[in-house]
Amino acid sequence: MTIHIDTFDDLLQAARQQAQPQRLLMVFTSAELPDDCTPQQRQDFEAGHGGALVPAMVADKSPDDIQSFAALKQESGQFQSQWHVVFVTSLSGSNGKPPSSTDVEQTLERMVESVKLGALDNMIAFDTSGSAIMLQ
């Protein structure tokens, strides 16, 4: 069965329907402009385009702990005033038990490193409206 994810709320619903307990692991990123940017890159960045996505905050939550994307966005704003993209993956438990805290921590660390390297294949990116996006 293929699950189609257009929004964070679609992912939330899919995670709640899984047979094993899930954890949603998230890396919130902010956009920064590299020091060695060109004048055109600076102009584009100031117009709201481009820049490098830099991990700013991580979170892990049970799908049952998140009411909706709107609620997650409001909660995240308490810790990180401005973020641009959140990368999300799910981690499945086994035998009716959620993933261990060690597995969660290790996966979050790998996610942060993957974002830094631009290796985004195993995560879904969402913008600040909760829509899934493709990054180039």
- Domain presence at residue 1: no
- Domain presence at residue 2: no
- Domain presence at residue 3: no
Total domain count for the chain?
Answer: 1
- Domain presence at residue 13: yes
Domain housing 19: 8-133
Res 2: pLDDT: 65
Q: What is the model's pTM?
A: 0.89
Which residue stretches of the chain have pLDDT < 70? 1-2, 80-81, 136
Which residues are CB-neighbours of 36 under 8 A, at least 6 positions away?
A: none
How far is the C-alpha of 104 from the C-alpha of 112, rounded, in Å? 12
- Domain presence at residue 126: yes
How far is the C-alpha of 107 from the C-alpha of 89, rounded, in Å? 9
Res 55: pLDDT: 94
State pLDDT tens for residues 53-64.
999 999 999 999
